[in-house]
Amino acid sequence: QMGRVGKRQASRAFSLYANIDILRPYFDVEPVQVRARLLESMIPVKMINFPQKIAGELYGPLMLVFTLVAILLHGMKTSDTIIREGTLMGTAIGTCFGYWLGVSSFIYFLAYLCNAQITMVQMLSLLGYGLFGHCITLFVTYNIHFHSLFYIFWLGVGGLSTLRMVAVLVSRTVGHTQRLILCGTLAALHMLFLLYLHFAYHKVVEGILDTLEGPNMPPFQRVARDIPVVSNAVLNTTAKAVALTL
């Protein structure tokens, strides 16, 4: 009886490892390649009449998703976000992996409908590298709490990575309507995800800065709790200077 159970477990484990071996070629990378691809993911290509090459590797995207999880956790911890149904770690992992896998599958399905030349691994890779912009934006804006700064980063950095993904997809699709559907969906989802991550996972207390009083006070002034005293003082004086000049 025990032998049978053991054998069944062993065969299940073996089949799991046999499946893992399928993924092995996608993890064969050098550090130089990863760095090059990370930098390339922020540069939109100009040549959209020729199908652009997409590297089908999964190491970089996987690491970027984990980095996003870590940044989310850090942001949630620094702002004392309370998650009622579930844990912080589970929420962060679920959100990031859900986005990566879910949106990749959805765009792959749309690409299949629109006759775009892209495989699932390539789509996973493309979207994974597109999260590099999200990581940078969130890392900066979770630590420096300025809404205008966030919007600049959202449009600039998020926009650049979205443009890169869109350009690659456009180069692999024929037909105007198809291009519009595919790229519009991807751009909307990607930008909205960044917006969602900023506002939902770094709860800021609606409050009024202590140093801003009088008629120059803007209607909304959000501050984050528990930021260190030094940067608080710096931010206060900077915000006061900005508000006084308005």
CA distance 210 to 179: 51
Name the one residue in this structure whose structure tokens are 């709860």.
203
Region from 20-28, 115-123, 166-174, 216-224 binding other proteins, contact rule CB under 8 A: 20-28
Would you say 30 or 206 has its CB closer to other proteins?
30
DSSP-assigned states of every residue in 66-120: HHHHHHHHHHHHHTT---SSS-HHHHHHHHHHHHHHHHHHHHHHHHHHTT----H
Number of residues located near other proteins, criterion CB under 8 A? 21
Interactions with other proteins, residue window 69-128 (CB under 8 A)? 70, 73-74, 77-78
149 binds other proteins (CB under 8 A): no
14 binds other proteins (CB under 8 A): no
Would you say 2 or 229 has its CB closer to other proteins?
229
Q: Comparing C-alpha atoms, which of 120, 141, 140 is closest to residue 61?
A: 120
Would you say 27 or 109 has its CB closer to other proteins?
27
> How many residues are present in the chain?
246
Would you say 20 or 47 has its CB closer to other proteins?
20
246 binds other proteins (CB under 8 A): no
CB of 174 to other proteins, least distance (A): 36
What are the structure tokens assigned to 108, written together?
């792959």
209 binds other proteins (CB under 8 A): no
* Cβ neighbourhood burial of 8 (10 Å; 0-12, 13-18, 19+): exposed
Out of 27, 109, 112, 151, the only residue in the binding site for other proteins (CB under 8 A) is 27
Q: Comparing C-alpha atoms, which of 56, 55, 51, 138 is closest to residue 96?
A: 138
Site string for other proteins, 31-70 (x = CB under 8 A): x--x------------------------x---x--xx--x
Phi, psi of 175 (to 5 degrees): 100, 135
Site string for other proteins, 178-207 (x = CB under 8 A): ------------------------------
Give 27's contacts (C-beta < 8 A, 6+ positions apart): 57, 58, 59
Name the one residue in this structure whose structure tokens are 């996608």.
26
Binding site for other proteins (CB under 8 A): 17, 20, 23-24, 27-31, 34, 59, 63, 66-67, 70, 73-74, 77-78, 228, 230
